[in-house]
C-alpha cells in the first residue's frame, strides 16, 4: 500500500495553519453555529496526539472555548501534556455518542502552559460540575498546583449533522 500524495484536499503532514490565524471551516454549519455548538455542548473533547513512540493516542478531557481557542486542563506529568509539548499538532472531536449524530472535529496546534490567571481548571469545574462543592471538585482543586492548561489553536474545523436523516418521518 502506498501513501497518498499531498494535494489540495489532502495536504498531508506539512500542512501549517493559515498565517493570518484564520480558521478554515467546512461542513453544514456556519462558523457561528460551530461556536454555538462548542459553547453549548458539555461533553468531553476527544483529543488526539502522537506519543513518544509515534503512535496516535486519544484522550478525553473537559474543554471550554475561549477567544477561538479550545482550552483543557490536566496534570503537568500527564502523558498528554508531555506529548503535546514535544509535538503540538493534534486532532480532536466533540460529538455525543447518541443519535442524532452531529458534532465538530478539527485539528490545530496545542500549547501546554501554567494555569493562567483566569484559572482554566476552575472554569472547567463550573462548566461540568456547576460548582466547587462536590468531592470531585474539591479533589481536583487540591491538585491545582500541578495542573497545566492546554490551549488548542484550531486551524481547521469540520461540522457534521445527521439529524435530518436520522429523524423518523
pLDDT at residue 25 in the model: 96
> Hey, what CATH topology would domain 23-166 get?
Pnp Oxidase; Chain A (2.30.110)
**Phi, psi (rounded to 5 degrees) for 152:** -100, 125
Give dist(CA 139, CA 161) in Å, integer: 37
Spell out, as residue ranges, where the chain has pLDDT lower than 70. Answer: 1-19, 117, 168-169
DSSP secondary structure, 52-103, as one string = TTS-EEEEEE--EEETTEEEEEEETTSHHHHHHHH--EEEEEEE-SSSSPEE
Give dist(CA 24, CA 157) in Å, integer: 6
pLDDT at residue 168 in the model: 62
Domain ranges of the chain: 23-166
Tens digit of each residue's pLDDT (9 = 90 or more) over 138-154: 999 999 999 999 999 99
Amino acid at each position: 500500500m502506498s501513501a497518498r500524495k499531498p494535494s489540495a484536499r489532502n495536504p498531508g503532514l506539512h500542512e501549517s495553519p493559515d498565517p493570518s490565524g484564520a480558521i478554515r471551516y467546512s461542513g453544514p454549519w456556519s462558523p457561528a453555529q460551530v461556536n454555538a455548538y462548542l459553547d453549548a455542548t458539555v461533553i468531553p473533547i476527544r483529543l488526539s496526539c502522537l506519543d513518544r513512540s509515534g503512535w496516535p493516542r486519544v484522550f478525553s478531557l473537559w474543554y471550554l472555548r475561549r477567544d477561538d481557542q479550545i482550552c483543557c486542563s490536566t496534570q503537568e506529568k500527564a502523558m498528554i501534556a508531555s506529548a503535546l509539548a514535544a509535538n503540538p499538532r493534534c486532532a480532536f472531536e466533540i460529538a455525543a455518542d447518541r443519535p442524532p449524530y452531529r458534532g465538530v472535529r478539527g485539528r490545530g496546534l496545542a500549547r501546554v502552559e501554567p494555569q493562567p490567571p483566569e484559572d482554566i481548571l476552575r472554569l472547567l469545574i463550573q462548566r461540568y460540575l456547576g460548582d466547587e462543592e462536590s468531592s470531585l471538585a474539591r479533589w481536583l482543586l487540591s491538585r491545582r498546583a500541578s495542573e497545566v492548561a492546554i490551549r488548542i489553536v484550531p486551524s481547521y474545523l469540520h461540522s457534521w449533522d445527521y439529524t435530518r436523516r436520522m429523524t423518523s418521518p
